[in-house]
């Protein structure tokens, strides 16, 4: 696959952002390539296009499949798997947010719940207990909000996003 300068820059930037989010740069670049590719690519094409070792590409593809960002398929009679990224941006963001929630946010809320209970049972000073409780309640509120919003139909979610801060006009002042 021939990469134009714009395509190269997209892939390089996606790799930089992935590194900032805690994802290996090569893995993020593989995802970027698959995200912009108009056709599915096999691991060899990915390796050649990005100049990455074949083993690095295989490992990256497994990681991306684990995140449910990339799917493998095989055409009838073909020996090689080909890979595609989640193409719909709304679905892509949903997969990333849900994955991060499950791996990071939900375990943190659970740990805070445990720590707050421990603090009630030991000699933790009241101001510290209050801060822990406030932290737990706030994070739980965000998690509850996310779970409620995620259950809404996509059209309703999009409408809410488009409304953004304008929704405040419909709420009581104060």
Domain ranges of the chain: 5-85, 89-157
pLDDT of residue 78: 84
pLDDT of residue 168: 79
Measured distance CA(59)–CA(49) in Å, rounded? 16
pLDDT in tens, 29-46: 999 999 999 999 999 999
pLDDT of residue 75: 78
pLDDT in tens, 3-14: 999 999 999 999
The DSSP string of 95-133 is HHHHHHIIIIIHHHHHHHHHHHHHHHHTT--HHHHHHHH
Structure tokens at 149: 């919003």
Neighbours of 33 (CB within 10 A): 25
Between residues 1 and 84, the one the model is more confident about: 84
pLDDT of residue 117: 94
- pLDDT average, residue stretch 94-111: 93
- pLDDT average, residue stretch 96-119: 94
pLDDT band at 131 (very low <50, low <70, confident <90, very high): very high
pLDDT band at 158 (very low <50, low <70, confident <90, very high): very high
Q: Please provide the average confidence, as pLDDT, over all residues in the chain.
A: 93
pLDDT of residue 174: 63
Percent of the chain past pLDDT 90, that is, above it, reads 80
pLDDT of residue 170: 81
- pLDDT average, residue stretch 148-171: 89
- pLDDT average, residue stretch 60-68: 95
Measured distance CA(113)–CA(133) in Å, rounded? 8
CATH of 5-85, one of 3.40.50.720, 1.10.10.10, 3.30.565.10, 3.30.2000.10: 1.10.10.10
* CA distance to 21, 48, 86, 141, 174, per residue, from 90 (Å): 19, 29, 9, 23, 33
């Amino acid at each position: 696959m021939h990469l134009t300068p714009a395509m190269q820059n997209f892939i390089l930037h996606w790799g930089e952002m992935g590194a900032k989010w805690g994802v290996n740069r090569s893995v993020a670049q593989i995802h970027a390539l698959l995200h912009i590719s108009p056709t599915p690519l096999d691991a060899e094409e990915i390796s050649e296009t990005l100049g990455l070792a074949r083993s690095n590409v295989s490992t990256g593809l497994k990681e991306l499949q684990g995140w449910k960002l990339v799917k493998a398929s095989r055409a009838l009679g073909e020996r090689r798997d080909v890979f595609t990224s989640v193409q719909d941006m709304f679905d892509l963001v949903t997969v990333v947010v849900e994955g991060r929630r499950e791996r990071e946010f939900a375990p943190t809320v659970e740990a805070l719940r445990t720590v707050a209970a421990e603090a009630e049972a030991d000699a933790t000073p009241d101001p510290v207990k209050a801060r822990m409780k406030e932290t737990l309640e706030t994070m739980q509120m965000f998690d509850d909000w996310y779970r409620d919003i995620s259950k809404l139909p996509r059209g309703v979610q999009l409408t809410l996003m488009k409304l953004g801060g304008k929704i405040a006009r419909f709420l009581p002042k104060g």
